Amino acid sequence: MSKLIGHTSVNINNEYILIFGGLLESANQNEYSDQLRVYEISSESCIPIILSEGEKPSPRNFHSAISHDHKMILFGGKSNGYLADVWQFEFNSKESVGKWTKLTTVNDQVISPRFGHSAEIYKDSMIIFGGYDSDGFVSNQVFELNLKTFEWKCRSLKNRKNNEILGRYFHSSLIYNNLLIISGGKQSGNIPINDVLLIDLENLSESEYLNCKIKKIPQNISRYGHKSWIENDRLFLIGGCNSNHDFTTLHSLNLSEKNEWREENFHFLSRVFNNSEFGPVFHSLTIYTPHELTFVVYYFVWGGKYQQSISNINAKENNGKLSMLNEDIFRMILEYLPVHDLNNVQLIGKDCQLSQLSIEDKLWKKFLLSKSQNVSPRRSGVNYYNLALHSRTFYQQSKNHIIELGRIKTLIEFQFKPKQEILKQDIQQLVKETENNLHEFRITVIGSSNVGKTSMQIVLAMNEFPQEYIPTVFESEHPIPVTLKNQTFTLQMRDTAGGYDYEIIRYLSYSPPPDLTIVVYSIYNLDSFHRVKDTFVEETRLHSPKTPILLLGTKSDLRNYNPGENFYSKEKPRIVSYEEGENLARELKCLSFTEVSSLKMVGIEELKELIVKCCLLQDSQVSNNGKPKCLIQ
């Protein structure tokens, strides 16, 4: 059964609950949804509706939705890209007819496309807080859309004690009296946030800055992907997860006292996720009161998933593969093993895929480093300290065991060549030097979300920049013909999704192994540049060790771009220089490096030629050298 995550649900006049979008997760594929479901409260079931002809929102998840004047207002979200459109849905219950309308807003340059933000209704305004935006920023600002004038405004926060107000996404929000209450969420780098923000909206229309008080959440119950509500002056948090586990328990904070948190064991929702096939992370929660029962409160919970652990821990056959072990269980097993046995577990784990810890080397190393930092030499009975003493030599020992047992493929070390040197190569000579006179190449394109991977491939294929955002289908291929000196080559471009939520399944893009992997970052997005080294190159070397890498910087036209006075960020993003990109390519032993602007069509024809010659060059190197040079890293 498919699981729905990152969707929204809103209460319309205590009669209907409108559920829109989300990501449908199943064993075979993940698919963004544009489906609108109408849940009728009186019949306790979803009812069929007729949609009027016309435009409707694109598929998406991690958007926001609010109820205003018997209508649903939708904003932003992502579908492996970032959105900033505003939509209105009006439902005629008598005729079961619904109509979407795209709203035109004023001063919309103050808010960037984003996902993972929150939205609430306050008087006649929609209040947006936080989110992860298209330039890699995690926001800590409040955005107001006046629903009468449809004008956007931006507000910054200030704290009287000068405490840092962290930007966040995947948090929860609600309006209580004149307060916008923001709880939890996570920072850039997937770090859970352990605080609650109480933002005073009383002077929203008058002041550029809003006062913000901060209350702490105990570290052990900090979370993201959860929901919240208020009962009897208590703030309740349900679901969510942190770096260690999912929360099926319910916790509350007394807002009138000092940071008094407690676990709620007798509330009805404290048992909602027990024995449930749907999980507590990224679900939706809607509260309503039937007209005839004004003293009764109903809670409507829809969708969700288990994020940090697999709900079915027992090993089951799944298309001939073993199910992964729960990470917490796996760590408990590992902590009792000596170093030599851990080496063998790593080898077995790589083949059997017992755990993500044994699939991704970086996670294995991260696990060991965390042990060495948190260990106490006084503890007895557990091999923590012993393992920490050996952590520096452990990984090298693992390499030696891997080489000895032949459990890993050879990594080929390619010498970096500036693009000018490769472009000077004679195409006919390169073709002659290849083993099979190749004219068709498989290319995998990877990189962070919203760096322009899909747009770049569309421009390569059609010589025209797409006017509308086209979301990446997880494994879509774009055949691109390239003619060089009367010889025609075909590039099978395999597009991939770059979001954090695709890391576990993106390895499928390396089978069969590509002839070239293009790792893409945006010069306008520093986070995407850092992920080249931290994620994508290491991922390529792990899953396709014989494939050369071409590092590509996109959106080069933004190098001299001035966002102007109304830019939504207080600071202009730091632009990645050409030299920084080329130096990183040298450091990571990529085959070459270049930059393009798909929008301005700068460097596109050069990129086509560079891709073909990189593929031919790597093939001739391998065939001429016989046994390639081996590099284990």
The predicted pLDDT at position 277 comes to 64
Mean pLDDT across 355-366 = 42
- pLDDT of residue 256 exceeding 70, the answer is yes
The token pair at 512 is: 């069969």
Q: Which pLDDT value is given to residue 368?
A: 47
Q: How far apart, in Å, are the Cα atoms of 194 and each of 182, 217, 218?
A: 11, 5, 6
User: Which of 69-78, 216-225, 352-361, 440-449 shows the lowest mean pLDDT across its residues?
Assistant: 352-361
128 vs 508 pLDDT, higher one = 128
Rounded (to 5) percent helix, strand, coil in the chain: 25, 35, 45
pLDDT of residue 382: 35
CA trace torsion 558, 561, 563, 564 (10° rounding): -170
Which domains does the chain show, CATH number per domain? 3-302 (2.120.10.80), 324-405 (no CATH), 419-625 (3.40.50.300)
* CA triple 346-349-355, angle to 5 deg: 110
Residue 471's contacts (CB-CB under 8 Å, 6 or more residues apart) are 32, 58, 59, 79, 80, 81, 454
More confident call, 408 vs 288: 288
The larger pLDDT score, comparing residue 220 to residue 434, is at 220
Is residue 410's pLDDT more than 90? no
Alpha carbon of 441 to those of 59, 529, 548, 552: distances in Å? 32, 26, 13, 18
| C-alpha to C-alpha distance for 473 and 81, rounded to whole angstroms | 11
The residues, any chain, with a CB within 8 Å of residue 621's CB and separated by 6 or more, are 414, 628
pLDDT tier, 334 (very low <50, low <70, confident <90, very high otherwise): low
The amino acid present at 531, given as its one-letter code, is R
Among the residue ranges 42-56, 356-370, 381-395, the one predicted with the least confidence is 381-395
Q: What is the model's pLDDT at position 347? A: 43
Check: CB of residue 482 under 8 Å from CB of residue 616: no
What pLDDT was estimated at residue 350?
38
pLDDT at 227 over 60: yes
Phi-psi domain of 580 (left: phi exceeds 0; alpha: psi -120 through 50; beta: other): alpha
What is residue 118's predicted lDDT score, i.e. its pLDDT?
97
- 566: Cβ–Cβ under 8 A, 6 or more apart, which residues? 107, 109, 110
Do 21 and 8 form a contact (C-beta atoms < 8 A)? Answer: yes
Q: Please, which residues have CB within 8 angstroms of residue 189's CB and are 6 or more apart in sequence?
A: none
Which residues fall within 8 angstroms of residue 206, CB to CB, at 6 or more apart?
none
Average pLDDT over residues 54-77: 95
Main-chain phi, psi angles of 205, to 5 degrees: -85, -10
pLDDT band at 355 (very low <50, low <70, confident <90, very high): very low
- Looking at residue 2, its pLDDT comes to 61
Contact (Cβ atoms closer than 8 angstroms) between residue 130 and residue 185: yes
Measured distance CA(145)–CA(86) in Å, rounded: 10
Task: Kindly report which listed range (30-39, 104-113, 205-214, 490-499) carries the lowest average pLDDT score.
Answer: 490-499
User: Taking residues 110-120, what's their average pLDDT?
Assistant: 95
75 and 126 Cβ atoms separated by less than 8 Å: yes
Among 9-13, 387-391, 394-398, 399-403, which stretch is predicted with the lowest mean pLDDT? 387-391
HSE of 544, CA atoms in CB hemisphere, 13 A:
23
Q: How far is CA 171 from CA 241, 371, 531, in A?
A: 11, 29, 23
**Residues written for the chain:** 633
32 close to 315: Cβ distance less than 8 angstroms: no
pLDDT of residue 412: 67
Q: Given pLDDT bands bounded at 50, 70 and 90, which one contains residue 396?
A: very low
Token representation of residue 244: 């260690």
Question: 236 and 242 in contact (C-beta within 8 Å)?
Answer: no
Neighbouring C-alpha atoms within 13 Å toward the C-beta of 104: 0
Helices 391-405 & 339-352 angle (0-180, nearest 10): 50
Q: How many CB atoms lie within 10 A of CB 370?
A: 14
Average pLDDT, the chain: 78
* Amino acid in the structure at residue 352: C
Q: For 506-542, how does the pLDDT look when each residue is reduced to its tens digit (9 = 90+)?
A: 656 676 788 999 999 999 888 889 989 888 888 888 7
> Is residue 448 within 8 Å of residue 506, measured between CB atoms?
no
Q: Could you report the per-residue pLDDT of 552-600, keeping only the tens digit for each? A: 999 999 888 765 544 544 455 789 999 999 999 999 999 999 999 999 9
Looking at 339-353, 449-463, 484-498, 542-556, which range is the least confident one? 339-353
**pLDDT surpasses 80 at 316:** no
Cβ-Cβ contacts under 8 Å for 40 (sequence gap 6 or more):
15, 16, 46, 47
Q: Is the pLDDT of residue 192 over 70?
A: yes
159 within 8 A of 215, measured Cβ to Cβ: no
Is pLDDT at 615 greater than 70 in this prediction?
yes
Amino acid at 175: I
DSSP structure class, residue 547: -
Is residue 360's pLDDT more than 50?
A: no
Asked if residue 146 has pLDDT above 60, the reply is yes
240-246: average pLDDT: 85
Q: What is the pLDDT of residues 431-440, one digit of tens each?
A: 887 766 668 8
Contacts of 329 (CB under 8 A, 6+ apart): 313
The pLDDT > 90 percentage for the chain reads 40
pLDDT of residue 440: 86
Q: Give residue 417's pLDDT.
A: 93
The first and second tokens of residue 204, run together, are 């929203």
Tokens of 377: 């030499």
